[in-house]
Copies of this chain bind each other. A is one copy, B any other.
């Protein structure tokens, strides 16, 4: 974090507007949350829940939305979040990564092909026929199986396992414990027992994908399981065999995709969602957390609940559910009144 810039420089860097007395001269040496900030800290109002912190923050400057009134030094724009992220990248410490080359305690098979500046840390395994592109880094204790190809500038953290014959694009980030290419869950019933169905397909991870810790993506039975360009998967997600996820889709933690399901582009999914197998979720769909998706979803829908339905309908039904005791009371009153009428 050896970075010191004036707020004026940061305004120019991002294109954001600058406000507040003597704003231009504020020197920013670090970024941090509103509540622990000091006079050389740049903070960010990320959520309206924290708006009260604006009144008491000691931050040297704050990045916020143009419409928020704040008379101390700040940067404002239409997309303050993105501006803050750009500045954050200036101040972020670089992640410590192994130097290019093969650590003496790594095992790289003589028939593996490594770009000259790839970095292979201690206790990594790169098997025969595997290819690692330039600038890619296997931090430590990573496994890359036979004939798996890894693109350029990838970052694989400790404990990542990529089995044989998998394809990984460029700039892919795999957090610790990610497993790619485990056997899909396929068994044919055979008189009370099960026969294993060989899972002979592959996994394709496209460019700019990031995958969270301990998430698993199974290899296809036949063909491929695919995660599209720019898609981001959180931790502990399960992607079953033959699932295809589109581009620039984001999925929160512990969600599970059943076999052969297809997810579109620019989809946003909450955590702990489950999907049925063999269904299709269209582009730009938004799904609330803990939903259960049982059938195809048309593009652009906002769905939630179990079984998942339009969020509006889901909310309406939930409201009705909460009024059930009231409904029962109403019915009892009707009954009483009806009885009286019948008496007459």
Contact = CB atoms under 8 A, between A and B. Distances in A.
Contacts of A200: 31, 88, 91-93
A342 interface: yes
A232 interface: yes
A132 interface: no
A89 B198 contact: yes
A122 B122 contact: no
B145 A96 contact: yes
Interface string A273-287: 010101000000000
A173 B179 CA distance: 16
Contacts of A86: 195
A15 to B, nearest CB: 13
Contact of A223 (B32, B157, B335): B32
B140 A125 contact: yes
A289 interface: yes
Contacts of A205: none
Contacts of A324: 317, 320-321, 324
A290 interface: yes
A210 B235 contact: no
Interface in A294-339: 306-307, 316-318, 320-325, 327-328, 330-331, 334-335, 337-338
Contact of A176 (B157, B161, B194, B253): B161
A159 to B, nearest CB: 5
A53 to B, nearest CB: 13
A252 interface: yes
Interface in A81-108: 81-82, 84-86, 88-89, 91-93, 95-96, 103, 105, 107
B235 A235 contact: no
A218 B24 CA distance: 35
A341 to B, nearest CB: 6
Q: Within the oligomer, what is the number of copies of this chain? A: 3
A83 to B, nearest CB: 9
A209 to B, nearest CB: 11
A292 interface: yes
Contacts of A121: 125
A238 B238 contact: no
A248 interface: yes
Interface stretch (A67-75, A112-120, A181-189): A181-189
A175 interface: yes
A151 to B, nearest CB: 17
A52 interface: no
Interface in A254-287: 254, 256, 258, 260, 266, 271-272, 274, 276, 278
Q: 3 closest A-B pairs (Cβ-Cβ)?
A: A92-B198, A182-B213, A161-B176
24 contacts: A79-B190, A85-B196, A85-B198, A91-B200, A96-B145, A103-B107, A107-B140, A125-B158, A145-B158, A159-B159, A185-B212, A185-B232, A185-B234, A187-B250, A193-B230, A213-B218, A234-B240, A235-B238, A236-B236, A254-B256, A272-B272, A290-B306, A320-B325, A338-B338
